[in-house]
Structure 1
Amino acid sequence: MTVLRRFARPMLASLFISGGYDAVRDPARLVPEVKSFVEPVASSVAPRTSLLPESPEQLVRLAGAVQLGAGVLLALGRVPRLASLALAATLVPTTLAAHRYWTIEDPAERDEQRAQFLKNTSMLGGLLLAAADTHGKPSLAYRTRGAAGHASDAVAAQAQSVVDHAHAVAHRIGDAADGAADSTTAAVGAVRKRLH
C-alpha cells in the first residue's frame, strides 16, 4: 500500500498544483468565471474578518495559493491528511463558483460544465479518502477508545486493590476487636471470681 500511496498522492495533487499555480500567477484570467459567486462572498464575508481580502482577484489568488501549497505537501507526502482537507475546503467553493451548470442555458456548455462539476465532485471524494487514510495504523478515535479502555481497566484494578486492602484492614480490626472482647470478657470473669 505504501507504493500505491507514493504514486497516488502526486497524481491526486497534480491538478491542484497546476491550477493553484495558474491562479496565483494570473488570477485576473479566472475572475470572470467566478465573479458572480466570488463578489457576494467578498463583499459580505471579507469586511467582517481580516483574514479574507475583499477583492475577487485576491480571493482567487488566495485559493490558488492554498491549492498550490497543499498540493505540493500532498504530493510530497508531508501532512497528507491536513493537506487533503485543505484542498477539499478550497475545492467546494471553487466548484460552486466556476461550474454552476444549472444556471447555463446553452446545452453544449451546460454539458461541459456538468462534466467539470462531476469531475470536481470525484476529486472531492478522493481528497476525503486521502484525508481519512491512516497509513494502515489505527485511527485516532480507535487509539483513544483503546487508551480509555486501558485507563478504565487500570482504575478498576486499582479500585479493587483498595477494596481488598480495606477488607483486609477491616478483618484485622475485627480480629483485634474480637481479641479485645475476649480479653475483656476474661478480665471481667477474673474480677467476678475475686469478688465472690
Structure 2
Amino acid sequence: MRPVRTAARALLASIFVVDGIRTLNQPETRADAVRPLTDRVTPLLERTDPRLPTDPLTLVRVKAAADVVAGLALATGRFTRPAAAVLAAGLIPHTLTEKGDRDNLLRNLGLLGGLLLAAVDTEGRPSLHYRTSHAIDRSQRTMRRAVRTARREAKIAAASAVAARRLPG
C-alpha cells in the first residue's frame, strides 16, 4: 500500500506545485481574478491584525508560496496531513474566485476530496486520539487491577493477623 499512497500523494500535489510556481511567476493575472474576494475580506483582515497584507497581489503570492511548500511536503511525505489541510483550505477561495465552467468546479471538488482523504490518512497507524484513548483505558484497567490486588492482599493480611493472635505464645 505504501507505493500506491506515495504515488497518489505525488500526483495530487503536482497540480498545486505547478500552479503555485506559475502563479509566482505571473501573479498579476490571478490578482485581478481575486480582487472581488479580497475587497470583501480586506476589512476583516484589517480588524484582525493591521499588519496582515491586504493587497491582492501580495495575498496571491502568499497563497502560491503556501501551495508550493505544502505541495512539496505532501509529495515528499513530510507533514502530509497538515500539508493536505493547508492545500484544502487554500482551494476553497481559489474555487470561489475562479471564473470557469462546471468542469473546473468538478475538478476542484475532486481535488478537495482527495486532499480531505490525505488530511485524515494515518497510513495504517492508529491516530493520536486512538492511541491516547487506549492508553487511558489500559492505565485505568491496570489501576483497577492494582486496587483489587491490594484489597485481596489486605484481606489476607487481616486474616493472617487474626489467626496469629489466636496462636499461643
Q: TM-score, structure 1 length as denominator? A: 0.77
**Equivalent position of 1:85 in the other structure:** 85
- Look up the match of 1:149: 137
Partner in structure 2 of residue 6 of structure 1? 6
Task: Pick closer, same or farther for the CA change 1:51–1:121 going to 2, 3 Å.
Answer: farther
Change (3 A) 1:55 1:17: same
Bigger CA drift: 120-129 or 157-166?
157-166
Query: Is 2:160 aligned against 1:172?
Result: yes
- Are 2:108 and 1:114 aligned? no
Q: Which has the higher contact order (CA 8 A, sep 6+)?
A: 2
1:30 and 2:30 are equivalent in the alignment = yes
Greater gyration radius: 1
Deviation at 1:14, TM superposition (A): 0.9
In structure 2, C-alpha distance between the alignment counterparts of 1:171 and 1:86, rounded to whole Å: 65
Partner of 1:94 in structure 2? 94
Q: For structure 2, list consecutive stretches of 5 or more residues without a partner in the other structure.
A: none
Q: Tell me, yes or no, if the aligned pair for 2:38 and 2:54 is still in contact at 8 Å.
A: no
The answer for the alignment partner of 1:67 in structure 2 is 67
Change (3 A) 1:121 1:52: farther
Relative distance call for 1:51 and 1:132 in structure 2 (3 A) is farther
Q: Which of residues 97, 113, 116 in structure 2 aligns to 1:125?
A: 113
Assess, with a 3 A threshold, how the Cα gap between structure 1 residues 119 and 84 changes in structure 2: closer, same or farther.
same
Taking the TM superposition and a 5 Å limit, the aligned residue runs for 1:131-142 are 131-142=119-130
The alignment covers a number of residue pairs equal to 169
TM-superposed CA distance for 1:170, in Å, is: 2.5
Whole-angstrom CA distance in 1 between matches of 2:12 and 2:126: 23
Does structure 2 conserve the Cα–Cα contact (< 8 Å) formed by 1:42 and 1:56? no
Shift of 1:173: 3.8
Pairing 1:163–2:145 present:
no
| Shift in CA distance, 144/67, structure 1 to aligned 2, threshold 3 Å | same
Mapped to 2, the partners of 1:118 and 1:51 lie a distance apart of: 36
Q: CA deviation at 1:70?
A: 0.3
Deviation string, structure 1 residues 76-99 (Cα, Å, up to 9, x no partner): 111111111111111112212224
What is the match of residue 105 of structure 1?
none
Contact 1:28 1:57 in 2 (8 A): yes
Q: Contact between 1:13 and 1:72, CA under 8 Å: does it hold in 2?
A: yes
* TM-score normalised to structure 2 length: 0.88
Give the ranges of 4+ consecutive aligned residues of structure 1 lying more than 6 Å apart after TM superposition: none
Amino acid of the structure 2 residue aligned with 1:79? F
Looking at structure 2, the residues matched to 68 and 49 of structure 1 have their Cα atoms a distance apart, in angstroms, of 25
Q: Distance in 1 between matches of 2:117 and 2:66?
A: 19
- For residues 50 and 163 of structure 1, the distance between their equivalents in structure 2, rounded to whole angstroms, comes to 64
**Secondary structure at 1:45 match in 2:** helix
- 1:84 and 1:131 in contact (8 A); partners too: yes
